[in-house]
Structure 1
Amino acid sequence: MAAAKIKKGDQVVILSGKDKGKTGEVTKSMPKDGKVVVSGVNIITRHRKATQANPQGGLERAEAPLHVSKVALKDPKTGKPTRVRFETKDGKKVRVAVKSGETING
């Protein structure tokens, strides 16, 4: 399996869909499914019946996963979307932003 180019804690830009252009932080990464959950993006609404645990019921809003191809890493230098490449520096494999050549922490 290939190494994950987008990880938990990364700042990403949404490339397509209803939230195109928005930015947010990756709160959960699911590499086996090829999906990520981004805070404040792709909000879904569920109508919940009243139960003993939730006597009020009502609308429940939550962030749904997005496919990893719909997001791009935010370049640490320019703030624009960029692709990611892997390089070896000081014997360690590090992620590098393609646009600026800046090393991505993490």
Structure 2
Amino acid sequence: MMAARIKKGDRVVVLAGRDKGKQGEVLKVLPSENRVVVQGVMMIKRHERPGPQSAGGIVTREAPIHVSNVAHVDPQDGKATRVGFKFLEDGRKVRIAKRSGEVLDR
């Protein structure tokens, strides 16, 4: 099991693909498929059949994007950064931005 570098709620930037350069929040992480769903990125249209809860029709939503095509946004300058890990004085293990050294965990 690889350490969780990207989690739900993180701000990421897309590095490759048709949405390159777009930023968004991670809505969902699919660790078994190595994919993430990012808000406003990789929008697709699906034809849905009407059901008890939904009216059906053409629905636009986000599709999963491979985790290698996204990177964290540095909290200081807003650019892409790699993720490192560090232990704090109180013993907690936190994710840090390699670019600035800023702590990414809330």
Shift of 1:32: 2.2
Q: Partners in 2 of 1:3 and 1:57 — Cα distance?
A: 39
Shift of 1:54: 7.7
Gaps of 5+ in 1: none
Percent identity, aligned pairs only? Answer: 52
Q: How far does the alpha carbon of each residue in 1:68-105 deviate from its partner, in whole angstroms, 9 at most, with x for none?
A: 00000000011000000011112111101001111112
Shift of 1:56: 5.8
Match of 1:78 in 2: 77
Which TM-score applies when normalising by structure 1? 0.89
Match of 2:14 in 1: 14
Distance 1:80 1:57, change over 3 A: same
Superposed CA RMSD in Å reads 1.7
Q: 2:100 aligned with 1:89, yes or no? A: no
Gaps of 5+ in 2: none
Distance 1:58 1:4, change over 3 A: same
Which TM-score applies when normalising by structure 2? 0.89
SS at match of 2:84: strand
Match of 2:67 in 1: 68
Match of 2:23 in 1: 23
Q: 2:100 aligned with 1:100, yes or no? A: yes
How many residues matched?
105
Distance 1:15 1:55, change over 3 A: closer
